[in-house]
């Protein structure tokens, strides 16, 4: 049996469940190992190979989630800050939500990976999370999901209803344009140009009034274009002008790798920024400074000159 054909979509599934690309890859490897060991017991009359693999992957994920802390973003963990000069002390003991590197998985496996949606899903009980993804994203039938979770169809339908209500309350079900949408690309281009020019007023003009800026692993976040601008002024004051940025995508959203200027020349990787663009403006920026995230995206640590 060819299990490898399903690896990409299984990685995306496990990521939705755990919020960590590294853990998702490990759990898919465990899924493949269990499937290989049990291949002689597979009955094609009861389920397709894909359905059978998802049942194994679901059990693996639920086991991994037992007793584990959910992976949040700062906006889902602490109250917003009003001090743009607060110490930027990372909380490395918190298992933060990580972004998903689009380039590592085929496009057809990346549906509904928006960062805000994944963050909201982390607050759901694990089995509700599984029901939501299996039913809404992967479009398994209620009967198939009931078999995968060893429960009943009414229980599946009830879990799905509660999960939908929780996401609606968290404002996590709205659609956003794709990164290659012309209006999105134009906004990101203008944001990049303003950032590289250390043009704070230019950045603020590209933000919604209630734009959110958060920076895991630093447990701080800010709301509002004015406060966002004040914080960016602090960043440019600390690091200086002359930044460079490169474009990529994460979670099906536009993203930018920001490289800070170095005293001896060249530029060093500083952050990965995942943007949410709506109506031609940036509504949210999740700024990641974890070296493990940089490694996941295969980002060079230093660049000697401009790369676009």
List the chain pLDDT tens, one digit each, 308 residues: 789 999 999 999 999 999 999 999 999 999 999 999 999 999 998 889 999 999 999 999 999 999 777 899 999 999 999 999 999 999 999 999 999 999 988 887 777 899 999 999 999 999 999 999 999 999 999 999 999 999 999 999 999 999 999 988 877 667 788 898 999 999 999 999 999 999 999 999 999 999 999 999 999 999 999 999 999 999 999 999 999 999 999 999 999 999 999 988 889 999 999 999 999 999 999 999 999 999 999 999 998 765 44
What is the distance between the alpha carbons of residues 280 and 278, in angstroms, rounded to a whole number? Answer: 5
Locate 195 and state its tokens.
């950032």
Complete domains list, the chain, with CATH: 4-82+106-169 (1.20.140.160), 182-303 (3.10.450.50)
Q: Which of 201, 197, 296, 182 is nearest to 241 (CA)?
A: 197
Identify the pLDDT of residue 147. Answer: 92
DSSP string, 42-65: --TTT--HHHHHHHHHHHHHHHHH
Greatest alpha-carbon span in the chain = 66
Identify the pLDDT of residue 308. Answer: 46
pTM of the model: 0.93
What is the distance between the alpha carbons of residues 92 and 282, in angstroms, rounded to a whole number? Answer: 28
List Cα–Cα distances, 139 to 107, 166, 258, 300, in angstroms: 17, 19, 37, 38
Beta-carbon-side half-sphere exposure of residue 26 (alpha carbons within 13 Å): 8
Residues paired with 274 in a beta bridge:
255, 286
- For the chain, percent helix, then strand, then coil, each to nearest 5? 50, 20, 35
What is the distance between the alpha carbons of residues 74 and 70, in angstroms, rounded to a whole number? Answer: 12
């Amino acid at each position: 049996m060819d299990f490898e054909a399903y690896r990409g979509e299984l990685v995306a599934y496990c990521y939705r469940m755990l919020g960590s690309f590294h853990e998702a890859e490990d759990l898919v490897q465990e899924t493949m190992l269990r499937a290989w060991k049990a291949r002689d017991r597979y009955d094609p009359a009861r389920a397709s190979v894909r359905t059978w693999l998802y049942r194994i992957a679901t059990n693996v994920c639920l086991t991994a989630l037992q007793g584990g802390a959910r992976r949040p973003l700062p906006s889902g963990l602490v109250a917003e800050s009003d001090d743009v000069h607060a110490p930027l002390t990372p909380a490395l003991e918190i298992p933060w939500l990580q972004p998903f590197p689009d380039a590592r998985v085929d496009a057809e496996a990346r549906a509904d990976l928006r960062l805000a949606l994944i963050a909201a899903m982390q607050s759901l009980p694990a089995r509700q999370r599984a029901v939501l993804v299996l039913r809404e994203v992967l479009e398994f039938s209620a009967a198939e999901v009931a078999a995968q979770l060893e429960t009943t169809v009414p229980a599946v339908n009830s879990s799905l209803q509660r999960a939908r209500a929780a996401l609606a309350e968290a404002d996590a079900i709205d659609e956003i344009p794709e990164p290659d949408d012309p209006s999105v690309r134009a906004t990101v281009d203008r944001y990049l140009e303003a950032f590289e020019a250390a043009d704070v007023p230019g950045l603020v003009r590209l933000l919604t009034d209630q734009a959110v800026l958060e920076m895991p692993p630093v447990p701080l976040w800010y709301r509002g274009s004015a406060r966002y601008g004040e914080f960016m002024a602090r960043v440019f004051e600390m690091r200086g002008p002359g930044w460079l940025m490169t474009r990529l995508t994460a979670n099906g959203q536009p993203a930018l790798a920001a490289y800070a200027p170095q005293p001896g020349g060249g530029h060093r990787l500083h952050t990965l920024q995942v943007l949410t663009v709506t109506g031609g403006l940036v509504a949210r920026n999740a700024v990641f400074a974890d070296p493990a995230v940089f490694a996941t995206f295969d980002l060079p640590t230093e660049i000697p000159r401009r790369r676009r």
